[in-house]
Structure 1
Amino acid sequence: MKKNVFALVSSIAVLGTALAGCGGGQPAAAPPAGGTTPAPSQPATPAAEKKPQVLKMNLHSEPPTADPGLAEDTTSGAIILATFDGLTRIGTDDKPHEAAAESYTVSDDKLTYTFKIRDAKWSNGDPVTAHDFEYAWKRALDPKTASNYAYQLYYVKNGEKANKGEAKLDEVGVKALDDKTLEVKLENPTPYFLELLAFRTYFPVNKKVIEANPKWAGEASSHVGNGPFKIESWEHKSKMVLVKNENYWDKDNVKLEKIEFSMVEDENTELSMFENGEIDWAGAPMSALPTDAISALKEQGKIQTKPIAGTYWYKFNTEKPPFNNIKVRKAFAYSIDRQALIDNILQTGQIPATGAVPPSMVLNPNGYFKDKDLENAKKLLEEGLKEVGMSKLPPITLSYNTSEAHKKIAEAIQDQWKKNLGVDVKLENKEWKVYLEDMHEGNFQIGRMGWLGDFNDPINFLELFKDKMGGNNDTRWENAKYKDLLNQSAKESDLEKRKKILADAEQILMDEMPIMPIYWYTQSWVQKPEVKGVHQTGLGDVDWKGAYIE
């Protein structure tokens, strides 16, 4: 899922949002056909009832949307995960478990899944039915919806064709057989399909609510979900409050009564709020810790850090000179010192990224290029400039979304490019929602982004760049051989052969460098000791369903 707003510590997208994946190059193992085991429960908390069950956090930035069919960033994704349930939900063991689906069966050929929908209600009291899932999936695939995450549904029979106008929505392989039975037909066997179902693009939406108000997901008064919490109030760019959803099917296991979010963009202010007792948590996954404070927080033993399956990278606009030239792109990528960025700015155990796919699902352990390969970078720049008919590069604009961390990274890279390549770089920062729109519209030269895994497989990183006009591509890069390899991988059942195919694809991506990998993520934060049960997955998602105040 995830574009990461912050992508410094968290997608995705982390000072905005991020997108993600993992699994050693092999698909995650699916639970046995016929149903998953119950999700691990939180430990008993008799003392939890004695304290007000209110969690106070900072979102850092305004969620662009609370619509699961349209969301593409980690901030929106966190709110959606709190207010919706998919057919499955990721448990504290990082495996998918039944949620809105009470049970399921899988055909022998692994192409047809049949789900029994449990008795549950929407936050407005309407029953949750199989029809809500069929409507939601087809709505996301409808080209008119313009969902940038529609491609996540391409695993469903005719999903891609419908999204590209080559098939009718009625031909998509999802059908409500009755109110309680959902049948799903896949294009190919997909071992990680149950994990995919826990991702927001697969969540249901209430057709009646949407048809009554197309802007339903932008205000607390009209938002309707089926998850553990509901939106009580939403003061845009200021505050959001979630409260326990009394209609949630598993409400007895939801201990928090309320989550209060502020929306403060400055990380220093956020940390001060934490130290003053105004919030219970600061830093990842919804924000970032101030880089200047990390050393002291480490010495005090307050900081917590977790590696996640995510990559922080810069994207090149490959349609505009000079970055329509491969050699120029590679020169910029090879000339930076990633380890120096980590040692001097990030400081929380990140790893220099020399490939697109993170270590947890690595395809090439040795990487595809050397960090700080200055000699090669200068040679490539000279050759690339000749090819585009330039004697010297004009000033270059590097864009990032508003964040102290992104700013410091950009300033350091700006300095490295000036020192190592003699390039003048102008920095440009924008508010997250505006920044996303400009990236999608191609209004940039080089732009910051991060991707956190949506599910545990390398395809989730590589498929971002399959189509020139893909919803999360932005680079406008496309390669026919690359696309063919990804298509081959979808049909290859031998895991080692599939891994080799995906490694060949990543080689092409790094040979042509439409993106410049910088580092692989860790998430770092501080929290009050009485805050328990907040689950952060290996993909960087956060789930407050089992959280409580001790």
Structure 2
Amino acid sequence: MNKKKRAVLLSVLLVLALLFTACSGGDNGDNGDNGDNGNAEPKILRTNNSSEPGSLDPALAQGTHESWVLDHVFEGLMKKSQTGEIVPGMAASYEMSDDGLTYTFTLRDGVEWSNGDPVTAQDFEYSWKRALDPETAAYYSYQFFYLKNGEAFNSGEATMDDVGVKALDEKTLEVVLESPTGFFLELTSFYCYFPISKDLDESNPDWAKDPSTYVSNGPFLLTEWVHNASITLSKNDGYYAADLVNLDGIEFAILDDANTAWQRYEGDEFDFLTPLPQTVVAQMTEQNNPELVIGADLATYYYNFNSEVKPFNNAKVRKALSLTIDRESIVTDVAQGGQTPAEGVVPYGIPDESGKDFRDGSGNFLSFDAAAAKTMLEEGLAEEGMAVADFKPVLLYNTSEGHQKIAEAIQEMWRVNLGIEITLENVDFQVKLDREKAGDYEISRAGWIGDYIDPLTFIDLWVTDGPYNDARFSNAEYDAYVKTARTSTDQAERMEAMRKAEAILMEEMPVAPIYFYTQPYAQKSYVTGIYKPVNRYPYFIYADIEK
């Protein structure tokens, strides 16, 4: 049986299994043993993906509502192991030149796409160049600027053939970098670096829009996508490490209401759940509930200020708003998930050139000072021809009880400390992202999970015209420090440049960091093997259901 037919058969079996479960009252407590018992019920892990993906094309995805699925259906040259190490994925091995500029990857024998075609070095070359191609309009194109002539090609100053990635044969990929990049191997495990099938994309550019045409190379297959309702994955028996995959499938519901999702978890309709309502996290913590896990997260929660819209073009206005956010109160009384009040944009957990935490060497840029803020706001507004009474901004956030409670708390802080009234507006996550990209907002809630473990994954967000620079910040000195951090081979010089860049960012305050994330999640006692990388959503690749 070829892979395409097998995928269809698995999809049918999975749907039948789910129907059987529904008919038995929603109790999946008897999932059985997947061993050699041919009559065992399939092991389907049920959870919630809180937003509808905008795209499940690795080049076009831009958030965790997409990457969580992509991390299970695709695999890059390298991958994260169960212990967080960067280990070979599609690549069997690699060699690096003495100068750190050239990597030569050798692909594994027998790796295949889900349609049965071989995964080739040509697929990787095609995928990376496609992501760089300005016609693709990939938000993550900048992550390929580490390739020789990557940025030049993206800006029209070089040809596609000049880009430093080339298939030497079907199994050998040569990659040449602009400068030595210590985190490059980790980047190849990130979802924008996932390959797609060259032949498929050339024959059907819309392949990623429908499960019937969707082709991937990871441990699971996309078998069903009911838009705004659910996404269903099934085990890929053709995956080279299929023997390590215990689940027969994963079902993601798509619910943006955390309370509804929690009710389904409590009703045994979900086996795993994140995010959790903040009151639930607090209650489970108080009860010492063994189903609660506080996962580590390399991430920062912050507010954007649209610096192209008056009066947010004025740094005094932005700083006044930041100075009147009581971050300690937010994490203690509102978020309640073990978060840490932000001290800058770079969170704890990233080593500097000496092996110490970068955050410790950079200091705390954020404080609370209502008196100074009130004066600063009045001055800034006056410079823009406005009075405090006329300042009535709108804060945009994506639908979530947690985001709403934080927004309401900050709304009240600004009312009490600055005498301003703000309006809150909630929209679907993808709508929020689209409006930020269009500049259609004044203040917006945002968050960033590090793509790799280096301060640059945060610092380079706000370069002039950067694809994720939704605050539309521009500062030539800042840009110069980022360029040094990207290109220097001296770690001490890189880290010092990023410390100076962060200092500029916090002085100008185009964004107001609020806290450093954790990722609380709940999992039933019968679920084992879930692994939470520090900068990824939890992996179900090695999960099991044992009842």
TM-score, normalized by length of structure 2?
A: 0.89
- Verify: 1:363 aligned to 2:358, yes or no: yes
Q: Which amino acid aligns with 2:339?
A: Q
TM-aligned CA deviation for residue 306 of structure 1: 2.2
RMSD, aligned CA: 1.5
Corresponding position of 1:5: none
- Verify: 1:313 aligned to 2:308, yes or no: no
Q: Which amino acid aligns with 1:67?
A: D
| 3-state SS, counterpart of residue 143 of structure 1 | coil
Match 2:286 to one of 278, 299, 321: 299
- Verify: 1:378 aligned to 2:356, yes or no: no
Alpha-carbon distance change, 367 to 175 in structure 1, aligned in 2, over 3 angstroms: same
Corresponding position of 2:9: none
Q: Which amino acid aligns with 2:268?
A: G
- Verify: 1:81 aligned to 2:71, yes or no: yes
The range that moved more, 183-192 or 392-401, is: 392-401
Contact kept in structure 2, 1:349 and 1:522, CA below 8 Å:
yes
Corresponding position of 1:269: 260
TM-aligned CA deviation for residue 371 of structure 1: 2.8
TM-aligned CA deviation for residue 262 of structure 1: 1.1
Match 1:66 to one of 56, 61, 67: 56
Contact kept in structure 2, 1:368 and 1:507, CA below 8 Å:
no
Distance 2:283 2:359 in 1: 36
TM-aligned CA deviation for residue 379 of structure 1: 2.2
- Verify: 1:180 aligned to 2:171, yes or no: yes
Task: Deviation per CA, 1:70-121: give whole Å up to 9, x if none.
Answer: 1110120011110101000011221111011111111111100001111211
Q: Which amino acid aligns with 2:342?
A: A
Contact kept in structure 2, 1:229 and 1:242, CA below 8 Å:
yes
Distance 2:314 2:104 in 1: 49
Q: Which amino acid aligns with 1:407?
A: Q
| 3-state SS, counterpart of residue 115 of structure 1 | strand
Q: Which amino acid aligns with 1:231?
A: L
TM-aligned CA deviation for residue 498 of structure 1: 2.1
TM-aligned CA deviation for residue 494 of structure 1: 2.9
TM-aligned CA deviation for residue 289 of structure 1: 1.1
Corresponding position of 1:171: 162
The range that moved more, 485-494 or 139-148, is: 485-494
| 3-state SS, counterpart of residue 83 of structure 2 | coil
Corresponding position of 2:457: 460
Distance 2:156 2:302 in 1: 32
Task: Deviation per CA, 1:178-232: give whole Å up to 9, x if none.
Answer: 1111000000001111111100111111122222322221221111100000011
Distance 1:186 1:540 in 2: 25
Match 1:323 to one of 289, 307, 312: 312
Contact kept in structure 2, 1:368 and 1:510, CA below 8 Å:
no
Distance 1:94 1:198 in 2: 12
Contact kept in structure 1, 2:152 and 2:158, CA below 8 Å:
yes
Distance 1:222 1:422 in 2: 56
Task: Deviation per CA, 1:368-420: give whole Å up to 9, x if none.
Answer: 43432212211211221122122224210000011111111111111111111
Matches within 5 A, 1:249-264: 249-264=240-255
The range that moved more, 361-370 or 91-100, is: 361-370
Corresponding position of 2:87: 97
Distance 2:204 2:533 in 1: 34
Corresponding position of 2:10: none
Corresponding position of 1:537: 533
| 3-state SS, counterpart of residue 307 of structure 1 | strand
Corresponding position of 1:441: 438
Distance 2:158 2:416 in 1: 53
- Verify: 1:121 aligned to 2:112, yes or no: yes
Distance 2:246 2:156 in 1: 45
The range that moved more, 492-501 or 176-185, is: 492-501
- Verify: 1:141 aligned to 2:144, yes or no: no
TM-aligned CA deviation for residue 48 of structure 1: 5.5
Give % identity: 44
Q: Please list every run of 5 or more consecutive structure 1 residues that lacks an aligned counterpart in the other structure.
A: 1-45
Q: Which amino acid aligns with 2:216?
A: G
Structure label with greater radius of gyration: 2
Alpha-carbon distance change, 47 to 233 in structure 1, aligned in 2, over 3 angstroms: closer
| 3-state SS, counterpart of residue 156 of structure 1 | coil
Corresponding position of 2:492: 496
Contact kept in structure 1, 2:365 and 2:503, CA below 8 Å:
no
Distance 1:98 1:467 in 2: 35
| 3-state SS, counterpart of residue 196 of structure 2 | coil
Distance 1:346 1:546 in 2: 30
Contact kept in structure 2, 1:395 and 1:423, CA below 8 Å:
yes
Distance 1:99 1:412 in 2: 44
Distance 2:536 2:196 in 1: 24
TM-aligned CA deviation for residue 541 of structure 1: 2.8
| 3-state SS, counterpart of residue 238 of structure 2 | coil
Distance 2:384 2:128 in 1: 44
Corresponding position of 2:6: none
Distance 1:374 1:367 in 2: 21
| 3-state SS, counterpart of residue 225 of structure 2 | strand
Distance 2:281 2:348 in 1: 24
